[in-house]
A and B are shown apart, each in its own frame.
Chain A
């Protein structure tokens, strides 16, 4: 016999999946127009690209950037990936704002950058 807990979980999964499928269709349509969202930042011979959420997906390091030393290089990559993550979040917020509430977007880490935010200035 199936336990009540299993049934409950199945029902909850179906309910959430249904809601997310509806949002997903709308979101997919918007992403197909906008293209994949990537956040980028570049400085001192280092260029990074991150996926929404912050996963590093692209990294270019120049010879001159190596000369600054390993600690400085690691710090620069960390700083740039943080900036790129905020930019990707800003873009995700823009693309998904018609689909999800602002509260939901912010809880996912997708926040709008104001114009005077230093990270909003593309280098």
Chain B
């Protein structure tokens, strides 16, 4: 059972944690790029442009399409910046303060979105790894001449191949 002093210390720590949120947000950034590599955008936590890079080839692009692409990439960067805010807050101040901010802002962390890419699960990684390791011995007939040449290259290049 925590003592009264513990409770006061806890409440003070929580108030101090909340006061750090603005500082953490000031450092948050999000970046995104167009799939064709012609536009790169970095924004801060409020969405303001911090970096915009355009490939030299954009001068030949359709100006309306380019403007739309910059807006689209900026929106993606904004989602990243929002998640970066929550990551910083979560890392420094803990999950309960992060939840508190999500409640107050009414904006859940993008990573909680059902359509957010969850990345590779441990099970998926292990399954792919085991497939990769067993494939050459299980399916020798599938090896193309190109991969055989690749193997030959590595065999020749290997300092241990003698």
Q: A residues engaging B (CB < 8 A)?
A: 4-6, 8-9, 12-13, 16-17, 20, 50-51, 53-63, 65-67, 69-71, 73-74, 77-78, 81-82, 85, 107, 109
Contacts and interface: CB of A to CB of B under 8 A. Distances in A.
Given A5-B96, A54-B47, A70-B57, 18 more contacts: A4-B10, A9-B97, A9-B99, A12-B18, A55-B46, A56-B47, A56-B74, A58-B71, A60-B67, A61-B67, A62-B63, A66-B59, A71-B54, A74-B52, A74-B54, A81-B48, A107-B22, A109-B46
B47 A77 contact: no
A79 to B, nearest CB: 10
Given A9-B96, A53-B48, A85-B48, A70 B59 contact: yes
Chain B interface: which size bin? 35 or more
Contacts of B22: 107
Interface string B12-23: 001100100010
A29 to B, nearest CB: 19
A66 B63 CA distance: 7
B55 A70 contact: yes
A74 B70 CA distance: 10
Contacts of A13: 100, 103-104
A8 B10 contact: yes
Contact of B59 (A51, A59, A67): A67
A74 B46 contact: no
Interface in B25-61: 43-44, 46-49, 52-61
Contact of B14 (A12, A59, A77): A12
Contact of B66 (A57, A61, A69, A71): A61
A98 B49 CA distance: 29
A46 to B, nearest CB: 9
- Nearest 6 interchain pairs by C-beta: A55-B47, A54-B48, A53-B46, A70-B54, A59-B67, A61-B63
Q: SS class of chain A's interface: helix, strand, loop or mixed? A: helix
B2 interface: yes
A17 B104 contact: yes
B58 A70 contact: yes
Contacts of B128: none
27 contacts: A4-B2, A8-B10, A8-B14, A9-B100, A12-B15, A17-B104, A51-B47, A53-B47, A54-B44, A55-B48, A55-B74, A56-B71, A57-B71, A60-B67, A62-B63, A66-B58, A66-B61, A67-B59, A69-B56, A69-B59, A70-B57, A74-B52, A74-B53, A77-B49, A81-B49, A82-B48, A109-B46
Contacts of A65: 63
Nearest to A17: B104
